[in-house]
Structure 1
Amino acid sequence: MIARHVHVVALLLVALLLCQGAMARTLDVGAGRTYRLPSEAIAVARAGDVVRIAPGLYYDCAVIGVGNLTIEGTGPGVVFTDKTCQGKALLVIDSSRVTLRNLEFRRARVMDGNGAGVRAEGGDLTIENCRFIDNEDGLLSARNPAAHIRIVNSTFDGNGRCGAACAHGVYVDTIALLHIEGSHFLNTHAGHHIKSRALRTELIGNDIQDGPNGDSSFLVDIPNGGSLLLENNRMEKGPHSSNPSIAVMIGEEGVDRPTDELMVVGNVFINDQARSTEFIHNVTATPVQLKGNRFVGQVRPLVGDGGIVSR
């Protein structure tokens, strides 16, 4: 009798999942389509839906309150620009399991100087093949110790500023994981290319560079500790850096979370300044392990606890 009951429940669950899949919709956005603006489609979207946006320049913003949602461009040149929601961002995400794909975010400005292309205030977020151009913050996240943010094959160009407070290319508050892979950071202004308070930060196979005109502070800032994997990145500190002394800073605001691993492996770091700079400055008591990194220019590989295992 119990086995029969379990079988019936399992069949009901399968039927429910199939029903939910059948109800998922594709919401088309653009000239001559069902919805003229992305915000119109997002406002009626349900869990499981896909919002597909045709190429175009959209002076539009949206607040995403539904989870398990995909928002994607159907081709290059799908651009959100200038208009922000809630005084925060072009897209404000208040839900979890959202995927953004093939989108561009430009020129976010707000009164407090912290305008973001995307403001992540919910749970898990995936960003694939997106561009963040000339915003105050590229991506800015709120505190959520359970959230995972994954950024892949994306570009952050010309973001950052410092006024009453500093804005950055990517800035995440306390989340479980920040994973950035195969992405490009360049020409960041005043702030850091990447600032992460995540419990674990993984930066793999990225290009993080000031270039000839960028005046960023740190290339990477891990201000409160937390585990770090910095692997196979190409990194460059340019001649106009606003903080010429250090490329990667760990723990300068006080370590208040487990810092189990600080692994720096297979990176190329180029110092294009006329003076020496530090690649890693570690304020934590956790030793940094440097393996197989290559340095060009005047570079001190490590200041603080740790050791150069191999070069």
Structure 2
Amino acid sequence: MAREIYQTMIAMALHVGPLRAIKTIAACAISAKSGTIILVDSGDYVADVAVWSQDDITLRAVGGRVRLLAQGAAAEGKGIWVVRANRMRVEGFDFEGAAVSSRNGAGIRLETGSLRVDNCRFRYNEMGLLTNNDPNTVLEVYHCEFAYNQRPDGHNHNLYAGQIARLTVVDSYFHHAHIGHLLKSRAAVSHVVNSRLIDGADGTASYELEFPNGGMAFVVSNTIAQSTLTENPYLISFGAEGYKWQDNSLYLLNNQLENPLHGGQFLKVFPGAGSVQARNNILIGYGSLESGSGNY
């Protein structure tokens, strides 16, 4: 029965592509109803930007990757896609080249709701994926790549989650940020699991991983490494801008941390944190783990 229901849903899906009746994603974003599956033919879609407000939308690349090339276009002056929807899912898309006057041009700007991105790439934008500070928003990232996102003043991040309810990052790869961080999360709860945050020999990221407002952060089974070109000696930072949440605890478990800098440090915890649990981590290079006011 479940298979029959799925096949019926696929049969009712909207198809987008240059040889289809619906030729642009922007047009589909206007006409799609809540609950629609949207199948997008592989290829390049230039200046094809969109705002999504329908719940339960699934967008899936078909026949290969879908590359969304901004080339000066931006939905609402914010990014390639702006999302204000619940339970949206995106699979197999590349978001490239978002740039706007505010210098926060994002591949996706998640303003409210919940979003899962799977097997997507965010490259050469001013911000890779950016959220607002809505306390009910949920962002899930699986099997994605974030790289080369930068803006002229350097205050950019490959992934930047604001003060949202939850961020989950699994099996993803972050590298080559420009002065900004590979991953920055202000979420109440953050899970970063089985991922690679490796800036590369020529990368210039600041922190590899930052939780500026604390929260509950679970950092488990990752490889995290900074380059010798970093402007900040810390791989991981917790609480640098003050703790905002009721529970501010860090769980750093089963990771491999690599620091090539003399004077560098694997972890910096700022005063005021709750529990800090750092266990079974492999430390390669120089420096130490610092607990701040937390407990190991």
Determine if the TM-score, normalized by the shorter chain, exceeds 0.5: yes
Letter in 1 for 2:282: R
Alpha-carbon displacement from aligned partner over 1:79-116 (angstroms, at most 9, x marks no partner): 11122111101010011111111100001111111100
Unaligned 5+ runs, structure 2:
none
User: How many residues are treated as equivalent by the alignment?
Assistant: 286
Q: Match of 2:53?
A: 65
Instruction: Pick the aligned partner of 2:31 from 40, 44, 51.
Output: 44
Structure 1: which amino acid aligns with 2:36?
D
- 1:264 counterpart = 2:243: no
Q: Which of 109, 129, 141 is the aligned partner of 1:151?
A: 141
**Deviation at residue 300 of structure 1 after TM alignment:** 1.0
> Does the 8 A contact of 1:223 with 1:250 survive in 2?
yes
Confirm or deny that 1:238 pairs with 2:219.
Answer: no
1:172 is the counterpart of 2:161: yes
- 2:40 corresponds in structure 1 to 53
- Equivalent position SS for 1:180: strand
Give the 3 Å change call, closer, same or farther, for CA 118–22 of structure 1 in structure 2: closer
1:111-126 correspondence to structure 2 within 5 Å: 111-126=101-116
Tell me, yes or no, if the aligned pair for 2:274 and 2:295 is still in contact at 8 Å. Answer: no
Which residue matches 1:203? Answer: 192
Q: Distance in 2 between matches of 1:132 and 1:23?
A: 27
Residues 24 and 47, structure 1, Cα contact 8 Å, conserved in 2? no
Identify the residue that residue 16 of structure 2 maps to in structure 1.
29
C-alpha distance in structure 2 between counterparts of 1:66 and 1:298, whole Å: 49
Tell whether the 8 Å contact from 1:233 to 1:266 is kept in structure 2 after alignment.
yes
Residue in 1 aligned with 2:265? 278
CA contact (8 A) 1:54 1:74 kept: yes
Kept in 2, the 8 Å contact 1:290–1:307? The answer is no
Structure 1 or 2, whichever has the larger Rg, is 1
Matched, 1:95 2:85: yes
Shift in Å, 1:260: 4.7
The letter for the 1-side match of 2:12 is: R
Does structure 2 retain, via aligned residues, the 8 Å contact 1:200–1:226?
yes
Gaps of 5+ in 1: 1-17
Residue by residue over 1:262-293, the C-alpha shift from the partner in whole angstroms, topping out at 9 and shown as x without a partner, is 110000011133x2311111113313111100
Q: CA RMSD in A?
A: 1.8
Q: Does residue 110 of structure 1 match 2:97?
A: no
State the partner residue of 2:202.
213
Q: Give me the whole-angstrom Cα distance separating, in 2, the residues matched to 1:148 and 1:285.
A: 24
The one-letter code sitting in structure 1 at the alignment partner of 2:277 is Q
8 Å contact from structure 1 (residues 162, 190) kept in 2:
no
> Could you tell me how far 1:27 is from its partner in structure 2?
1.0
**What is the TM-score when the length of structure 1 is the normalising length?**
0.88
SS in 2 for 1:43: helix
SS at match of 1:122: strand
Q: Is the 8 A contact 1:75 1:102 kept in 2?
A: no
Q: TM-score scaled to structure 2, two decimals? A: 0.92
**How far apart, in 1, do the equivalents of 2:251 and 2:152 lie?**
30
Show the counterpart of 1:6.
none
- Contact 1:42/1:51 (<8 A) preserved: no
Matches of 1:150 and 1:261 in 2, distance apart? 20
